[in-house]
Amino acid sequence: MAKGSSVQALYELCKKNFTNSGVSASSNSIRKLCSLMDIISPQEVGLEDFPEDDRGHGFFESNTFKSSSRTSRWAQPITYLHIYECDTFMMGIFCLPTSSVIPLHDHPGMTVLSKILYGSMHVKAYDFVEPSLTMRSGHSYETPLRLAKTQTDMVLTAPCPTRVLYPKCGGNLHCFTAVTSVAVLDILAPPYSEVAGRHCTYYHDYPYSSFSSYVEDLRTDERGDDYAWLEAIDAPDNLYMRSGIYTGPAIQEE
């Protein structure tokens, strides 16, 4: 494939700025990556603008819009297109059919850049409150709840700027719900790794008011609506994700 493709340029920029040193990429490097991702089109990664959704498969429960309500729907498969992966970063594309959901999950010790290639999706994102504030919910299994602050709760539609989350800020815990068929180009630096202890944890979010009587008032002047209690849960059984074939320009490794 063409040496001068945008995907190749993105790979080379990631290779230069994400290293094994453990030092995070500089803000200037992140800006350069975002600027490049901002101009990448669906066609440049082998996608159409708005492909037809696949048939539904299975069910999911979504608490993305209202934590207190769960609605069973006929879920459609989410397709992941793998572009590149090494020890320091990975590149790929998530293709979400209309109404499909990537549940609330975290990115431990990771910087993530996400660019919507086409379509619209609702993004709900949190950061844990520091210093950590936890409590017991009273459930029989006594899983602790941890207080988090909402960073994003909105619908994003392409074209829009690339979004960045960091290990401790920017909405490190997020969930996606496809309002329309949507594709998201993702860079994770470093990737998830069981060996390195970067495993994906899923969460259920509860409104702050659900357990506000168990703790003192918020330590800020902000509204309780800006906060939620997050509970770690097992990987959802109703998440159906499959691997697809990436048809864009191949990476020519240096």
Which CATH number goes with the domain that contains 153?
Answer: 2.60.120.10
Does a structural domain hold residue 222? yes
Does a structural domain hold residue 50? no
Residue 101 pLDDT? 94
Q: Rounded to the nearest 5°, which phi and psi values hold at 27?
A: -60, -35
Burial of 250 (0-12, 13-18, 19+ CB in 10 A): middle
Q: Report how many domains make up the chain.
A: 1
The amino acid present at 239, given as its one-letter code, is: L
DSSP single-letter state for residue 38: H
Does a structural domain hold residue 136? yes
Sign of torsion, CA 201 176 112 247? Answer: positive
pTM of the model: 0.84
Pairing of strands 227-233, 134-136: unpaired
Pairing of strands 59-62, 144-157: unpaired
For residue 44, what are its two tokens? 């440049």
Residue-by-residue pLDDT tens, the chain, 254 positions: 345 799 999 999 999 999 876 667 889 999 999 999 999 999 999 998 777 665 433 333 433 333 333 334 455 689 999 999 999 999 999 999 999 999 999 999 999 999 999 999 999 999 999 887 777 665 545 678 999 999 999 999 999 999 999 999 999 999 999 999 999 999 999 999 998 889 999 999 999 888 765 555 555 555 678 999 999 999 888 788 999 999 999 999 87
Does a structural domain hold residue 162? yes
d(CA 225, CA 227): 5
d(CA 233, CA 109): 19
Residue 107 pLDDT? 97
Q: Per DSSP, what are the bridge partners of residue 193?
A: 198
Does a structural domain hold residue 146? yes
Query: What angle is formed at CA 197 by the lines to CA 237 and CA 62, rounded to 5 degrees?
Result: 25
Question: 93 lies in which domain range?
Answer: 65-244
Residue 251 pLDDT? 95
Does a structural domain hold residue 239? yes
Q: Rounded to the nearest 5°, which phi and psi values hold at 169?
A: -155, 175
Does a structural domain hold residue 22? no
What are the Cα distances from residue 21, in Å, to 16, 88, 120, 158? 12, 9, 36, 34
Q: At what angle do helices 27-38 and 6-17 cross, to 10 degrees?
A: 170
Q: How many CB atoms lie within 10 A of CB 160?
A: 11
Does a structural domain hold residue 37? no
DSSP single-letter state for residue 213: G
Cβ proximity of 202 and 104 under 8 Å: yes
